[in-house]
Amino acid sequence: MEVNQPTEPHIAILPSPGMGHIIPLFQLAKRLVTHHRLRVTFLVITTADPAPAAQNNLLRSDAVPSGLRVVDLPAVDVSDLLAGVPPGLTPLCVMVEHSLRRHLRPVLLGLDGVTAVVIDLFCTQAFEICGELSIPVYSFFTGSTGLLTFSLYLPTLDRETEGEFVDLPEPVQVPGCRPVRTEDLLDQVRVRKSDEYKWFFLHVSRLYKAAGIFANTWKDLEPVPLLALKENPFFLNIPTPPVHPIGPVVKEEEPYTESDKEVLTWLDKQKPDSVLFVALGSGGTLSTKQLTELAFGLELSQQCFILVARTPNDATAMGTFYSAGGREDDPIAYLPEGFVKRTEGVGLVVKSWAPQVAVLRHASTGGFLSHCGWNSTLESVLHGVPMITWPLYAEQRMNATQLATEAGLAAKPTVEPWKEVVGREEIERVVRAVMEGKEGKVIRRRAKELRDSARVALDSGGSSCDSLARVVKAWKLN
């Protein structure tokens, strides 16, 4: 009699659109295949034709391991629903809603026995669809654990608060956590009658349905919110799904273009810890005036720098959210006249996109002026690089304050970049402080401590490694 041999679990992973969501979930997919020998199907919600260059470079490279299959969900046309809607969470959620309602069920049924589905925060329609198919759903939280605790608390805060949260006389006190300044509250909760708030509230209010929540962090980076989730009576009584800290889950390798190789060759010629890397994430753009002040500030600082430059956008800070990696106009056309020539040899201007992981890993990189997105934050920490905070949108203000005042990993300009234009003199000051001042030395020491801690957490027997292994063991037993 033939005995059926057990097969490895088959996990489907579903991110919402945007590189900030795709990158960490794809890295998790690779880790499940290469470290735990699982079969993984990575589902991609199609938003553009052709797909953004950076997305293609990540998902279609030769480095994708066998056992990891990438499947595109068929495109849906929601242009009539999004006419006149500005960039933000609303268009993303509308696209996801229509894509999953139409395509997720048949795609899952067409796969070979799915053990579990892992989604990010903005794909919670999967709870209902997978529930009908008796497939457990796990949430991968792509933001900080500080944001996770706030998100789990939000339904209670919404129920108990009148008026706008930003008008509260005191910071928001998330149970067991450090207070959140009202000015740091993420964009999506600043106007409660807005569509942005309605979508965000909808998704966080479903988090309790998850079979577990993967947190992209580890104890030494975020001890306070992790302890609150584990011990605070509020989170124990919601109830909160089991939280599995498995971070940092970040991009480890990336294919290089010819222009990427030129960047790394330039870095090879610089002194250790001498270069400030200036990059504002996959979607960030500056206004014309702010980009001009940033350029002059870098020039005045007399520090070596790599500036990832994009065509300025005076209407939105999310000008490239869905087109990451696309080549844009020549920076000479929008940077101050003569800037590129005057800073030649000291600075390097890169159009649109740079190999961020390789730059942060490089010995010559000594600082990172960042929008403080959580992926970029974790990449900076993993490579021991001190930061200058430059938050633009979403929850980046919360991250910036956490990095500067709690984790000791960053310096903040005295002017909030999201409030007003930061002048060239202030940019010169904060750049010098991090790259050659006493403040920078303290931050650099702390960054290297957490770098070592992160590596221990990820190594065999480390806390993050063991946390993920326990979930994989449960999948295999089921």
Active site residues: 21, 120
> Rounded to an integer, what distance in angstroms lies between the CA atom of residue 172 and that of residue 157?
9
> Rounded to an integer, what distance in angstroms lies between the CA atom of residue 125 and that of residue 99?
10
Which one-letter amino acid corresponds to residue 100? L
Q: Report the 10 Å Cβ neighbour count for 48.
A: 11
> Rounded to an integer, what distance in angstroms lies between the CA atom of residue 434 and that of residue 367?
7
In DSSP notation, 195-208 reads HHHHHHHHHHTTGG
Residues 274 and 302: beta-carbon distance below 8 Å: no
Task: Single out the residue of 378, 404, 376 nearest to residue 389, CA to CA.
Answer: 404
Task: Single out the residue of 376, 322, 329 nearest to residue 75, CA to CA.
Answer: 322
Residue 249, helix vs strand vs coil: coil
Chain-centre distance for alpha carbon 327: 22
Task: Single out the residue of 22, 14, 24, 34 nearest to residue 382, CA to CA.
Answer: 24
Q: Which two tokens stand for residue 100?
A: 């999953």
Put the strands of the sheet holding 116-119 in their side by side order: 68-73, 39-45, 10-14, 116-119, 137-141, 213-215, 243-245
Chain-centre distance for alpha carbon 251: 11
Strands (E), 7-156: 10-14, 39-45, 68-73, 116-119, 137-141
**206 phi and psi angles, rounded to 5 deg:** -100, -5
Q: Please enumerate in sequence order all residues whose Cβ is within 8 A of that of 445, keeping only pairs 6 or more positions apart, or say none.
A: none
Torsion of CA 151, 156, 160, 165, to 10 degrees: 0
> Rounded to an integer, what distance in angstroms lies between the CA atom of residue 298 and that of residue 304?
8
50 preceded by a cis bond (ω within 30 of 0): yes
Q: Report the 10 Å Cβ neighbour count for 199.
A: 21
First to last CA, the chain: 24
Residue 158, helix vs strand vs coil: helix
Residues 433 and 366: beta-carbon distance below 8 Å: no
